[in-house]
Amino acid sequence: MSTTWHVLGAGSLGTLWATRLARAGVPVRLVLRDTTRLQAYEASGGLTLVEHGEAQHYAVPAETADSTQPINRLLVACKAYDTESAVARLAPRLAPGAELILLQNGLGSQDAVAAQVPQARCIYASSTEGAFRDGDWRVVFAGHGFTWLGDASHPVAPIWLDDLSTASIPHEWSTDILTRLWRKLALNCAINPLTVLHDCRNGGLQQHHCEVATLCGELVELLERCGQPAAAENLQQEVERVIHATAANYSSMHQDVTSKRRTEISYLLGYACKVAGRHQLNLPHLNQLESRLIARLQSLGLPSD
């Protein structure tokens, strides 16, 4: 019998993973916030995944954090700002040798969780898959992509990657996961805040070429200073390529702001500025971008952390 995957956070990515694992016959259980959510979930009868316009229903079993069953494998699919408190509630249930897979975008939340549960192995992930909720317990698989997984302190791939293959979740074990996460963070810092400040689609940044180039210059300095030269390579070209390739899309941060949702600023631009400060690196445009973004979020009545 294979090990059960506990999935913490039944939002977009959590549902995308839970339904594909369940569809492949891999044992999965959702961990929901409280009994109110659990009752609502049970009344709905399960999760729905919409793929290629077709909705499929999966009766994935669920529990709350207060359940007592030990957890051996935990997929953490909360937003970065919820991760630490969500994992803290489950820490007493983690079995010796438990493994956590952290799906959060940006940086900072993963290290915080790893410090919180030193007895567990924490595997960091970086995903280009895209999903969004179009109803309670219902998720649309919007963008097929790829997920890299890695463990900066232990290069050997876990055996359970086979479960991901069985579930047709495109993935690869990465021995440089931090470089991947830093690269994605740099891309997000160069694109997402500006799309909020200029209230435009990604393609709208083609009108702000100089601003983008200046930010890329500072991000390259930061990456090199933090020992991530590979993440800095041709950053500006990559940013321009992404702006062009995703010209018609709104960035994830722009979508959060439009929907009045809290952003993950502290784990993206906020993290970059904090690390620059720690290295006593003066990056005036990046700092100014952070101040402008915070001011904009506050003016919209949104949390700025």
Q: Is the dihedral of CA 158, 160, 162, 163 positive or negative?
A: negative
Do the bridges between strand 121-127 and strand 130-135 make them parallel or antiparallel, or are there none, so unpaired? Answer: unpaired
Q: Is 205 in the site for ligand KPL (CB under 6 A)?
A: no
77 binds, among ligand KPL, ligand NAD, none (CB under 5 to 8 A by kind): ligand NAD
Tell the smallest beta-carbon distance from residue 252 to ligand KPL (Å).
3
Pick between residue 149 and residue 212 the one whose CB is nearest to ligand KPL: 212
Complete DSSP assignment for 181-220 = HHHHHHHHHHHHHHHHHTT--GGGGGGGHHHHHHHHHHHH
Please tell me the count of residues contacting ligand KPL according to CB under 6 A: 9
Are 189 and 219 in contact by the 8 Å Cβ rule? The answer is yes
Binding at 246: pick from ligand KPL, ligand NAD, none (beta carbon under 5-8 Å per type):
ligand KPL
For ligand KPL, which residue of 60, 80, 187, 212 counts as binding (CB under 6 A)? 187
How far, rounded to the nearest angstrom, does the alpha carbon of residue 40 sit from its chain's CA centroid?
Answer: 25
Given candidates 9, 108, 150, 193, which one binds ligand NAD under the rule CB under 6 A? 9
Residue 12 interacting with ligand NAD (CB under 6 A)? yes
The answer to the question of residue 206 lying near ligand KPL (CB under 6 A) is no
One-character DSSP codes across 11-35: SHHHHHHHHHHHHTT--EEEEESSH
| Closest distance to ligand KPL from the beta carbon of 268 (Å) | 9
Q: Is 131 one of the binding residues for ligand NAD (CB under 6 A)?
A: yes
d(CA 295, CA 95): 44
Q: If binding is defined by CB under 6 A, does position 264 make contact with ligand NAD?
A: yes
Single out the residue of 13, 30, 78, 242 in contact with ligand KPL (rule: CB under 6 A): 242
222: which residues sit within 8 A by CB, 6+ positions away?
Answer: 186, 272, 275, 276, 279, 281, 283, 286
Binding of ligand KPL at residue 196 (CB under 6 A)?
A: no
Q: Which amino acid type is present at position 200?
A: C
Would residue 260 show up in a list of annotated catalytic residues for this protein? no
> Which residues are bridge partners to 71 per DSSP?
94
Tokens of 62: 């669920």
DSSP state of 122: E
Do residues 88 and 115 lie in contact, with contact meaning Cβ atoms separated by under 8 Å? no
Contact stretch for ligand KPL (CB under 6 A) within 10-18, 57-65, 155-163, 187-195: 187-195
CA distance 263 to 255: 9
Minimum CB separation of residue 195 from ligand NAD in Å reads 15
- Residue 242 touches which of ligand KPL, ligand NAD, none (CB < 5 to 8 A by kind)? ligand KPL
Out of 79, 184, 260, 274, the active site residue is 184
Cβ 255 to ligand KPL shortest distance, Å = 8
The residue ranges that bind ligand KPL (CB under 6 A) are 187-188, 191-192, 202, 242, 246, 251-252
**Residues designated catalytic:** 184
The residues that touch ligand NAD, with contacts defined as CB under 6 A, are 8-14, 31-33, 77-80, 82, 86, 103-105, 127, 129-131, 133, 264
